[in-house]
Chain A
Amino acid sequence: MATLQVELVAVEKMLWSGEASMVIARTTEGELGVLPGHSPLLGELAPGGVVTIRTESGEDLVVAAHGGFLSVTERGVSILAETAEISTDIDVERAREALRRAEQDSDDPEAVAAARRAQSRLRAAGQDA
């Protein structure tokens, strides 16, 4: 079976790379799934979004990716994110706390961005945001 070569890159380091059978992401235009053989695509990830990488073994790797891009070429998929966290590393309590704090002053654009980040972390961890 054909697979996708996926790279998940955050600014500070390469978070994950390997073979996957499918990548599901949400761009600013809408949800999209990438299977092997997908035509080349560049997309901007929606703020507060979650990227799911289905690995070869059928497991889902859920990632909270914020402020990023998705690039699909014939060689594979790269997910670029300013901040990204894999669901298993996410501290739900801290994300909730961050969301609560950020929602208190919703006028500040910084706080809005922080709220989005917290939401995407919660969603990736499978919690309600």
Chain B
Amino acid sequence: MAGSLRALRRRIRSTQSTKKIFSAQELIAGARIVRAQARVEASKPYSREITRVLSALAGSASLDHPLLTERENPRRVAVLVITSDRGFAGSYNVNVLRRTEELLALLRNEGKEPLLYVVGRKGETYYRFRDREMEETWTGFSEQPGYENAQEIGRTLIAAFTAGEDDDETGGGADDVLGVDELHIVFTEFRSLLSQVPVANRMAPLVVEEVDELRDERDAQVEESHSTDITPAYEFEPSAEQLLDALLPKYVTTRIYAALLEAAASESASRRRAMKSASDNAEELAKNLSRQANQARQAEITQEISEIVGGADALVSANADD
């Protein structure tokens, strides 16, 4: 009896100390979300401006840039998966990886060969454990991604995409390097603190995503100038084609950066939720355990009393016999 009481007390102590760890993690994740959300917000003016510039350019330049043209017969496809470096984030990584598997199955059905590019240690471990080939991995920045990380990823992907331009059935084509014909990205979109959804997007060939606000603005402008019906004639320095060459890779990088930031915010939100329920569970467990411990202690006391009473009774009856 006494043994079980001691064991219960030990379990209570260890549950309480794990609970402390969980709630500390929860607080850290909470602080990180705020910072991550601020970074998402801060990066928006740039992506809005670059989209605006690109739309202006699209109106004036001939759009036959390789990053904009559909390839006739896409065979190899790059898939960039954004996962976290650390665990303790609930279903965050599982969801992204499941979405990726869906995309991969879809691409294979279309007769394309998907190649994996993985961000985050968790994704890397997942694919390595399953002996799946990865083209490239990046780790160490999933919680606080910087623009230079996005640049590095962007460079790799765009290089692969450019190399894929002249590939044919037999091999790497003129430059003898096997590249890819499409770029896809899978990341977790941060909708709100409570909802983060894994999404898969195609990055290249590009579809310039017009910001809603921008479209409204343009509609307003069109209304203003419907009689003249001309877009403002831009001057270009250097030529529009050269500008497009310089701008498009930056646009892709901006999209990757935005995805990394969203994923970081989602990761922290997921982690906070997971840690909150973990610490709630730990508290519940500690409460149940201390109930059992109290019961055991009470049983021990009752037993001691009945032993004493029993002993006293025995003494009394022994004396009475004398």
Contact = CB atoms under 8 A, between A and B. Distances in A.
B interface, over-half SS: helix
A41 B237 contact: yes
A69 B243 CA distance: 9
A interface, over-half SS: strand
Interface string B40-71: 00110110011011001100000000000000
A44 B243 contact: yes
A13 B47 CA distance: 10
Interface in B234-267: 234-238, 240, 242-243, 246-247, 250, 254, 257
A39 interface: yes
Contacts of A73: 56, 232
A80 B43 contact: no
Given A29-B237, A41-B235, A80 B42 contact: no
Interface in B99-125: none
Interface residues of A, number: 26
B175 to A, nearest CB: 19
B1 interface: no
Interface of B: 39, 42-43, 45-46, 49-50, 52-53, 56-57, 147, 151, 232-238, 240, 242-243, 246-247, 250, 254, 257
Given A14-B42, A43-B243, A80-B49, 9 more contacts: A9-B49, A12-B147, A28-B237, A29-B237, A41-B235, A44-B243, A67-B250, A69-B246, A78-B49
Interface of A: 7, 9-14, 27-30, 32, 39-44, 67, 69, 71, 73-74, 78, 80, 82
